[in-house]
Amino acid sequence: MDIAVIGSNMVDLISYIDEMPKEGETLEAPSFEIGCGGKGANQAVAAAKMGSKVMMLTKVGDDLFADNTIRNLESYGIDTEFTNKVPGASSGVAPIFVDPQSRNRILIIKGANQYLLPEDIDQAADKLKKCSLIILQLEIPLQAIYRAIDFGNEHNIPVVLNPAPASRELDFDYVCKCDFFIPNETELEILTDMPVETDQQVHDAALTLIEKGVKNVIVTLGSRGVMWVTNERADMISAHRVAAIDTTGAGDSFIGCFAHFFVQTGDILHSIRMATGFAALSVTKRGTQSSYPDKKELETFIAEQV
């Protein structure tokens, strides 16, 4: 395996709306779609679409969504040996509302995802040891995340932590054990209690994390681009100009693509640039995983930008 994704899967219930209803109001919406999502699963699919060998450690319910989620992961070539059903639990679901400006509002119901526990990581140890990178997010219990970070450290496997959704309970002693910390600007603001309206403010907020001992902070800023901050440098990578239709899952697409190229090349800046292109392409189509480009589409897009 190249990459292990330890994290969440969700069933995306996507409503494309003209406007959000007020309290007590009922409005008609233009369209609705059901898709496979969840931050962990999205990141796994993005890496797999680039050609990485990916294993997914996650939990599904025993409802009608479970088998479809597993089939979906396998359709991308993802190893699902440790994608297990939880008796009596619902699968995770994410009602998503997308407005005409492509902005989204998302609710998550974790369902079976909350049953992913530290012992599940130990049970998968033999296969996890063979991975070159571990990706984590915050849609599963923190204790499982901490065990995964320790496992990566014990076996010299680099760890990527995406603090989404942001939690003030996150222990930064564990964040400092990760090789890459990848928040978006909203998550950075929540975790640092600092403004992030300008690039300088983003840099200053990221630098406080570096001063705490975080190795690499990579902040995704949507249409503004990406900022990479370390003790030695601060790089701003511009976003590509595209006509955005649906931004759902763009941050996840960035992380999965970044992970693929980092495992393949070890070049952080190159990996960020490729992932920025991947995320740009993902917002030009509706949906989450269904909007992700394949390797040929990404290579063509990047070549056209030069």
Q: Which of 18, 252, 267, 294 is catalytic?
A: 252
Q: Which of 191, 173, 256, 187 is nearest to 222 (CA)?
A: 187
| Catalytic status, residue 235 | no
Using DSSP, state whether 59 is helix, strand or coil. strand
Find the Cα–Cα–Cα–Cα dihedral 46, 264, 52, 249, rounded to 10°: -10
Radius of gyration in angstroms for the set of CA atoms belonging to the chain, rounded to a whole number: 18
Q: Which residues contact 168 (CB under 8 A, 6 or more apart)?
A: 190, 191
Judge residue 252's burial from the number of C-beta atoms within 10 Å of its C-beta, 0-12 exposed, 13-18 middle, 19 or more buried. Answer: buried
Strand order in the sheet with 226-229: 83-85, 54-60, 3-6, 133-136, 159-161, 180-181, 217-220, 226-229, 234-237
Tokens encoding 292 = 């992700």
Q: Quick check: helix, strand or coil at residue 4?
A: strand
Task: Point out the residues that are catalytic.
Answer: 252
